[in-house]
């Protein structure tokens, strides 16, 4: 198989002030003004970056984000200036808030695990008795988390604690909550037209020149969860798990092979077949979420293409 992927970048752009490498993205600071965010083909699960890249994964995530940033810019301004390459978004540097805003419309994932443990309050939201896994909330709730240091896990936090600890002022927190719910509502509306349910989503915000901006990725299968709408109700009533459109299938494959990210566990061998299957699932995610055919970019010289496209953007921007 052709497994030419981009798993690490080391570009030397003019005005480069620093590089931050996350689990999936390599982010270049240009003149303390712009960020060049290169979405690589790395894939992580259980806070571990897996040993092989996934062809087209970076392109899928970047292009979904670029579309949703455009779809929501009337709600809140966002950091994006342009997406000059299928794997790249370039935008403004913003000072990020130390909290991630998670909107949940269903009792799924970590919220279900919290509920199942007996807790009936989630980040300041009171939950009724008798709920079942994957049940829809009466209305979406916001469950913020702290941004963990590298390698640590994010932790749930209530709005009261956020304000008390001085992380965000009450006035600004209310604005972030309002924006998060409105962006989620827009995402739900778009998903519904594609036969999907937007289950939950993580949003990050920053500030520039005293103004709030939406930053980072939005409504991608790495930062959100989707259910197929057509048989959700029937499966829920029968006590069956919903059909999901997220990278949950990667976690399931790892778990079935005895890996959950613990120190003594070894990542199972990622065969060509597994890598290709994951790639095909990401392309399926793209086509379902956007309703458009995925156009595969050439894998022959990804580094060269990205560098050339970014340089052209920078030359035009700094003319």
Q: What is the mean pLDDT of the chain?
A: 94
pLDDT over 90 for what percent of the chain? 88
Q: Do domains 16-94+269-317 and 96-245 have the same CATH topology?
A: no
The 10s digit of each residue's pLDDT in 211-244 is 999 999 999 988 999 999 999 999 999 999 999 8
d(CA 298, CA 149): 36
Global confidence as pTM: 0.91
Architecture in CATH of 16-94+269-317: 2-Layer Sandwich (3.30)
Query: Which residue is listed with tokens 């069956």?
Result: 240
Task: Find the mean pLDDT for residues 178-194.
Answer: 97
Task: Find the mean pLDDT for residues 19-34.
Answer: 96
Domain ranges of the chain: 16-94+269-317, 96-245
The 3-state DSSP class for residue 74 equals: coil
The 10s digit of each residue's pLDDT in 108-149 is 988 999 999 999 999 999 999 999 999 999 999 999 999 866
CATH number for 96-245 (one of 3.30.470.20, 1.25.10.10, 3.30.70.2740, 1.20.1290.10): it is 3.30.470.20
Yes or no: say if 42 and 61 are a contact pair by the CB < 8 Å rule: no
Q: Judge whether residue 1 has pLDDT over 50.
A: no
What is the token pair recorded at 233?
Answer: 């109700």
The 10s digit of each residue's pLDDT in 249-287 is 898 899 999 999 898 999 999 999 999 999 999 999 999
Yes or no: say if 310 and 84 are a contact pair by the CB < 8 Å rule: yes
Q: Judge whether residue 151 has pLDDT over 70.
A: no
pLDDT over 70 for what percent of the chain? 97
d(CA 26, CA 24): 7
The per-residue pLDDT for 180 is: 98
């Amino acid at each position: 198989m052709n497994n030419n992927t981009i798993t690490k970048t080391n570009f030397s752009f003019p005005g480069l002030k620093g590089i931050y490498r996350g689990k999936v993205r390599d982010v270049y600071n240009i003149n303390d003004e712009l960020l060049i965010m290169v979405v690589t083909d790395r894939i992580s699960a259980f806070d571990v970056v897996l040993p092989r890249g996934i062809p087209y994964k970076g392109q899928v995530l970047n292009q979904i984000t670029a579309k949703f940033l455009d779809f929501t810019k009337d709600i809140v301004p966002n950091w994006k200036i342009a997406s000059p390459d299928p794997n790249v978004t370039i935008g403004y540097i913003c000072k990020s808030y130390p909290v991630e805003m998670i909107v949940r419309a269903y009792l799924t994932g970590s919220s279900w695990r919290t509920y199942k443990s007996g807790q009936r309050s989630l980040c300041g939201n009171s939950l009724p008795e008798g709920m079942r896994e994957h049940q829809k909330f009466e209305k979406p709730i916001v469950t913020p988390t702290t941004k963990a240091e590298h390698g640590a896990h994010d932790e749930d936090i209530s709005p009261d604690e956020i304000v008390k600890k001085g992380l965000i002022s009450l006035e600004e927190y209310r604005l972030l909550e309002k924006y998060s719910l409105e962006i989620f509502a827009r995402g739900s509306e778009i998903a519904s037209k594609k036969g999907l349910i937007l289950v939950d989503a993580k949003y990050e915000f920053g500030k520039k020149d005293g103004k709030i901006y939406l930053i980072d990725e939005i409504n991608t299968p790495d930062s959100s969860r989707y259910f197929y709408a057509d048989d959700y109700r029937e499966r829920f009533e029968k006590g069956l798990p919903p059909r999901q459109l997220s990278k949950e299938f990667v976690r399931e494959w790892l778990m079935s092979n005895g890996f959950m990210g613990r120190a003594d566990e070894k990542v199972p061998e990622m065969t060509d077949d597994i890598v290709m299957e994951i790639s095909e699932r990401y392309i399926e995610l793209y086509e379902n979420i956007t309703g458009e055919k995925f156009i595969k970019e050439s894998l022959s010289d990804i580094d060269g293409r990205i560098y050339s496209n970014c340089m052209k953007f920078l030359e035009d921007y700094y003319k």
